[in-house]
């Protein structure tokens, strides 16, 4: 690096929601539709100011169903589009989430997780929408869901969410828990830092040769935007490679399998996480979101007390990071899965546990965070 | 080449998607004919037209026409259309819905799209029944009529779609029937030319479900019913209320000027950038 060159950087004290906005704009988001809901409202408020300054569009719709509908419409017209909500709104979005999956429309949905079910705990944190993000919409489908635990990750993962959605033509859910959404931390954004921005692949063939849902080796067909001269049909019905409804078993099967394949053959790209001192760890904590912060502190305190503790932090929640989890299950004697729900990811960890590794959970559902001390106490209790 | 042949070759996906799903005698075919003729007259390029629909018999329409076509979820067509129009304002976005689609499951989206005055044209085929699922009653099924879920009698009062659109703020509202095919064409043409939220309600028939249950006869007899019960706006103005009792008005019900959403939002952009003072 040339030290004499002045590095232009912005040091910002941001909330998770604010960092998600910065990330979205950096990724090229030009359309937002949403409906007010705590604790995601800041994203709407800030984008209502910023997007029109950048010739983008912000609109407040009549509900969350309409919000995701407008986002999908904007994406089909070529915009990078996003919405933000919390549990009750995410429930309403499930219908159109399924549409975005079957019609392969890129879009990003932020869910600032609060306690549920129903209206639940509007101002208190939770991680209880993990399984809803996976299976909330009906039908068999793949999904990508990411979860930040720091403000910097809110920024980075929002960019990644847009990249994955454009790359794989799939809606990406960003699960920010209320703690991370509202917590403030300093982040430094270098103006000349290289950020990988991925834009959807457009067709290069003439319109009469264009096959909009072609089964390519990559599994991701090129996407023409409405108005670009490629007139094609988009439907929520199961369709053939030309986009027309089909009920032929020999067309349905490869289509559904391709939807899964485009994610499953790219696990190495979409599964991101970080390991902290897991190589020699007897005890590994698998955590995500704000709980990953407590887990790292608990591990450091444990090491001071002579316990060999490591942490596997999951940034990708779905598709489940099976190979990374299997690795720590092989090397650790004990695995602890602390979660602010009754055990949604621990269920997955138990599912992939083939050996005799002991898995213990910490489940907190009282609307407060899991502290490092609580994790440490659990470790001492089980070891 | 005959005019009809030219239109078929120009606008229908005749080599890809036919035969269609509709019953013989259905009114949607007449409506589709009027739609194609009206679009042909507007002079828009096919690449710049987006046809959006919801779910139901009417929702199946876009698959047969050669535009950018989008078949969305039930009742949500207007929300998708809103996103398309705002993201790419140069596109002409036309939304095709049925009565259940537009004013039952999509009722909230309908009134809000009208209130915002988004530059869209909503074409609603009102056949008073959920046809595709087998003839259940809809919000426009008249009081006292039968359906497969009101086999004794419908005791709910029905919506008047056009009046709802007027009240919610649409700048153009027209009503026609599939019997009055030429009127439909001219109403659609006017609606496409209007900037802002325009609505064309089309009174149609479902002889397969609704007509059979209520002993209303064949498709032709149901269209004769439309002819006998429709009164033009001009004629209705000279009639007494008791004469209009079992009649409905057809023609242009509202044509007014209000700023469209896009004009307002363009101003918002200029204010946001500071290029214009508020």
- The CATH number of whichever domain residue A352 belongs to comes to 3.40.50.920
Contact flag A233-B81 (C-beta cutoff 8 Å): no
Domain that holds residue A59: 10-190
A1 has a pLDDT exceeding 70: no
Cβ neighbour number for residue B211 with a 10 Å cutoff:
22
Band of residue A347 on the pLDDT scale cut at 50, 70, 90: very high
At residue A383, the pLDDT reads: 84
Residue with tokens 């793949």: A142
Q: Looking at chain A, which residue has its C-alpha nearest residue B276?
A: A53
User: Residue B50's beta-bridge partner residues?
Assistant: B68, B93
Q: Answer yes or no: is A107 within a domain.
A: yes
Which of B80, B93, B118 is the best residue to mutate to test the A interface, defined by the most A CB atoms within 10 Å of its own CB? Answer: B80
- Cβ contact A31–B83 (<8 Å): yes
Q: B273: Cβ–Cβ under 8 A, 6 or more apart, which residues?
A: A52, A53
Length of chain B: 278
Q: Encoding tokens for residue A98?
A: 């399924």
On the CB side of A263, how many CA atoms lie within 13 Å of its CA?
23
Q: Region B110-121: what's the mean pLDDT?
A: 98
Q: What is the 3-state secondary structure (H, E, C) of chain B?
A: CCHHHHHHHHHECCCCCCCCCCCCCCCHHHHHHHHHHHHHHHCCCHHHEEEEECCCCHHHHHHHECCEEEECCCCCHHHHHHHHHHHCCCCEEEEEEEHHHHHHHCHHHHHHHHHHCCCCEEEEEECCEECCCCCEECCCCCCCCCECCECCCCCCCCCCHHHHHHHHCCCEEEEEECCCHHHHHHHHHHHHHCCCCEEEEEECCCHHHHHHHCCCCCHHHHHHHHHHHEEEHHHHCCCCCCCCCCCEEEEEEEECCCCCHHHHHHHHHHHHHCCCCC
Name every chain A residue with its beta carbon within 8 A of the beta carbon of B109.
62, 65-66, 69
Is pTM, for the whole model, over 0.95?
yes
Task: Write down the CATH number for the domain with range B3-273.
Answer: 3.40.50.970
DSSP 3-state assignment of A194? coil
Nearest chain B alpha carbon to A233 = B69
User: How many residue pairs from chains A and B have C-beta atoms closer than 8 A?
Assistant: 137
Tell me whether A48 touches chain B (CB under 8 Å): no
Share of chain B above pLDDT 70, in %: 100
Per the CB < 8 Å rule, is A226 touching B83?
no
Residue A39: predicted pLDDT: 95
pLDDT at B127 over 60: yes
Task: Tell me: cis bond preceding B19? Omega within 30 of 0 counts.
Answer: yes
Q: Of B66, B73, B273, which is closest to A95 when you measure between CB atoms?
A: B73
Average of per-residue pLDDT across A105-131: 96
- Measure in Å the smallest separation between the Cα of A302 and chain B Cα atoms: 52
The Cα A216–Cα A45 span in angstroms is 41
Average pLDDT (A338-353) is 97
Instruction: Please state which of the ranges B1-15, B31-45, B200-214 shows the lowest mean pLDDT.
Output: B1-15
**Which pair of structure tokens corresponds to residue A291?**
């709980």
Specify whether A313 is located in the same domain as A179. no
Give the pLDDT confidence of B178-237 residue by residue, as tens digits.
Answer: 999 999 999 999 999 999 999 999 999 999 999 999 999 999 999 999 999 999 999 999
Indicate the pLDDT class of residue A10, thresholds 50, 70 and 90: confident
Contact B235, B164 (CB under 8 A): no
Given phi > 0 = left and psi -120 to 50 = alpha, else beta, which region is A321?
A: beta
Q: Can you list the alpha helix ranges (DSSP code H) found in A279-356?
A: 290-304, 322-331, 345-352
Per-residue confidence band for B18, with pLDDT thresholds at 50, 70 and 90: confident
The reported pLDDT for the residue numbered A4 is 59
Give the model's pLDDT for residue A2: 53
| B65, B79, B264, B268, best to mutate vs chain A, most A CBs in 10 Å | B79
Contacts of A77 in chain B (CB under 8 A): 50, 83-84, 87-88, 91
- Beta-carbon count within 10 A of A63 CB: 16
Find the chain B residues whose C-beta atoms sit closer than 8 A to any C-beta of A. 16-17, 46-48, 50, 52, 62-63, 66-73, 76, 79-88, 90-91, 108-109, 112, 265, 268-269, 271-273
Distance from CA of A277 to the nearest CA of B (A): 47
Q: Does residue A224 lie in a domain region?
A: no
Q: Are residues A180 and A301 in the same domain?
A: no
Q: Residue B8 pLDDT more than 90?
A: yes
pLDDT higher than 90, residue A285 = yes
Tell whether A153 is covered by a domain.
yes
CB contact under 8 A, A227 and B90: yes
Q: What is the per-residue pLDDT across A139-174, written as a single tens digit (0 to 9) for each?
A: 999 999 999 999 999 999 999 999 999 999 999 999
For range A292-319, the mean pLDDT: 97
> What integer pLDDT is reported at residue A191 of this predicted model?
77
Domain end point (choices A146, A162, A190): A190
Detail the DSSP E strand segments found in chain A.
Answer: 9-15, 29-34, 57-60, 80-85, 107-115, 121-125, 144-146, 171-177, 184-190, 233-235, 273-276, 283-287, 309-314, 316-318, 334-339, 358-363
Are the C-beta atoms of residues B85 and B120 closer than 8 Å to each other? yes
Helix axes A151-168, A16-27, angle to 10 degrees: 40
Predicted confidence (pLDDT) at residue A5 exceeds the cutoff of 80: no
pLDDT in tens, A91-117: 999 999 999 999 999 999 999 999 999
- Report, in this order, helix, strand and coil percent for chain A, each rounded to 5: 40, 25, 40
Looking at residue B92, its pLDDT comes to: 98
Pick the last residue of a domain from A190, A220, A237.
Answer: A190
| Structural domain count of chain A | 2
CB contact under 8 A, A61 and B269: no
**Residues A31, A130 within the same domain:** yes
Q: Are A164 and A304 in a shared domain? A: no
Q: For A228-259, how does the pLDDT look when each residue is reduced to its tens digit (9 = 90+)?
A: 999 999 999 999 999 999 999 999 999 999 99
CB contact under 8 A, B82 and A229: no
Evaluate the omega torsion of the peptide bond into residue A319 and state whether it is cis, within 30 degrees of 0: yes
Per-residue pLDDT tens for A180-215?
Answer: 999 999 999 887 778 999 999 999 999 999 999 999
* Contact residues, chain B, for A244 at CB < 8 Å: 16-17, 63
Q: Over 70: is that where the pLDDT of A7 sits?
A: no
Chain B residues within 8 A of A242 when measuring between CB atoms: 16
- Mean pLDDT across A53-59: 98
Which CATH number characterizes residue A69's domain?
Answer: 3.40.50.970
pLDDT tens-place string over residues A60-75: 999 999 999 999 999 9
pLDDT digit string (tens) for B53-109? 999 999 999 999 999 999 999 999 999 999 999 999 999 999 999 999 999 999 999
Q: How confident is the model at residue A6 (pLDDT cuts 50, 70, 90)?
A: low
Q: How far apart are CA B197 and CA A99, in angstroms?
A: 25
pLDDT of residue A3: 54
Average pLDDT over residues A8-27: 94
Q: What is the mean pLDDT of chain A?
A: 96
Q: Which of A190, A212, A227 is the last residue of a domain?
A: A190
* pLDDT of res. B17: 83
Interface ipTM > 0.90: yes
User: Where do the domains of chain B lie?
Assistant: 3-273
- For the residues B238-248, what does the mean pLDDT come to? 93
Residue A135 lies inside a defined structural domain of this protein: yes
Among B123, B135, B61, B57, CA closest to B93: B123
pLDDT at residue number A8? 79
What gap in Å lies between CA B159 and CA B128, rounded to an integer?
A: 10
Contacts of B271 in chain A (CB under 8 A): 52
- Flag whether residue A63 sits within 8 Å of chain B, measured between CB atoms: yes
**Cα B79 to Cα B64: distance, rounded to the nearest angstrom:** 22
């Amino acid at each position: 690096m040339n030290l004499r060159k002045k590095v232009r950087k912005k040091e910002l004290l941001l909330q998770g929601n604010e960092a998600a906005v910065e990330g979205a704009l950096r990724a090229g988001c030009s359309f937002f539709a949403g409906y007010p809901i705590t604790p995601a409202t800041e994203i709407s408020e800030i984008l209502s100011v910023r997007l029109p300054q950048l010739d983008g569009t912000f609109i407040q719709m009549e509900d969350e169903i309409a919000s995701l509908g407008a986002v999908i419409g904007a994406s089909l017209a070529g915009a990078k589009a996003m919405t933000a909500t919390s549990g009750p709104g995410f429930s309403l979005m499930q219908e159109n989430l399924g549409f975005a999956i079957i019609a392969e429309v890129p879009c990003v949905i932020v869910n600032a997780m609060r306690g549920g079910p129903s209206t639940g705990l509007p101002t208190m944190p939770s991680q209880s929408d993990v399984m809803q993000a996976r299976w909330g919409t009906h039908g068999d489908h793949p999904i990508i869901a990411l979860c930040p635990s720091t403000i910097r990750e809110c920024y980075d993962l929002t960019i990644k969410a847009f990249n994955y959605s454009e790359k794989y033509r799939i809606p990406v859910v960003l699960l920010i828990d209320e703690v991370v959404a509202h917590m403030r931390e300093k982040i430094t954004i270098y103006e000349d830092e290289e950020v990988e921005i991925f834009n959807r692949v457009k067709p290069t063939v003439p319109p009469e040769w264009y096959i909009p849902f072609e089964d390519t080796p990559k599994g991701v067909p090129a996407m023409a935007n409405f108005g670009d001269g490629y007139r094609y049909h988009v439907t929520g019905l199961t369709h053939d490679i030309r986009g027309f409804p089909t009920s032929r078993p020999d067309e349905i099967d490869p289509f559904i399998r391709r939807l899964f394949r485009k994610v499953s053959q790219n696990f190495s790209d979409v599964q991101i996480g970080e390991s902290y001192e897991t190589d020699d760890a007897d005890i590994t904590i698998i955590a995500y979101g704000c709980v990953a912060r407590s887990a790292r502190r608990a591990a450091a305190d444990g090491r001071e007390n002579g316990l060999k503790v490591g942490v596997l932090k999951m940034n990708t929640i779905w598709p489940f990071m099976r190979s990374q989890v299997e690795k720590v299950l092989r090397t650790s004697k004990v695995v602890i899965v602390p979660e602010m729900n009754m055990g949604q990811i621990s269920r997955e960890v138990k599912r992939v546990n083939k050996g005799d590794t002991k898995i213990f959970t910490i489940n907190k559902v009282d609307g407060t965070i899991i502290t490092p001390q609580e994790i440490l106490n659990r470790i001492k209790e089980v070891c | 080449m005959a005019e009809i042949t030219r239109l078929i070759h120009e606008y229908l996906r005749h080599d890809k998607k036919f035969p269609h799903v509709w019953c013989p005698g259905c009114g949607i075919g007449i409506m589709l004919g009027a739609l194609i003729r009206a679009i042909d007259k507007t002079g828009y390029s096919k690449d710049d037209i987006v046809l959006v629909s919801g779910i139901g018999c009417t929702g199946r329409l876009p698959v047969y026409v050669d535009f950018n076509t989008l078949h969305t979820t039930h009742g949500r067509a207007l929300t998708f259309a809103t996103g398309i129009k705002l993201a790419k304002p140069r596109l002409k976005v036309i939304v095709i819905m049925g009565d259940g689609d537009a004013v039952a499951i999509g009722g909230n989206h309908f009134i809000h799209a009208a209130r915002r005055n988004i530059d869209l044209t909503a074409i609603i085929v009102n056949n008073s029944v959920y046809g595709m699922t087998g003839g259940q009653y809809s919000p426009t099924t008249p009081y006292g009529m039968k359906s497969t879920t009101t086999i004794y009698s419908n005791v709910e009062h029905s919506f008047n779609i056009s009046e709802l659109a007027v009240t919610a703020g649409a700048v153009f509202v027209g009503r026609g029937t599939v019997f009055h095919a030429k009127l439909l064409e001219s109403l659609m043409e006017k609606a496409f030319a209007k900037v802002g939220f325009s609505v064309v309600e089309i009174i149609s028939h479902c002889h397969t479900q609704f007509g059979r249950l209520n002993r209303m006869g064949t498709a032709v007899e149901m269209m004769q019913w439309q002819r006998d019960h429709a009164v033009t706006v001009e004629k209705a103005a000279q009639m007494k209320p008791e004469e209009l009792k079992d009649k409905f008005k057809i023609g242009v019900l509202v044509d007014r000027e209000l700023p469209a959403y896009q004009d307002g939002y363009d101003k918002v952009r200029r204010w946001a950038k500071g290029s214009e003072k508020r």
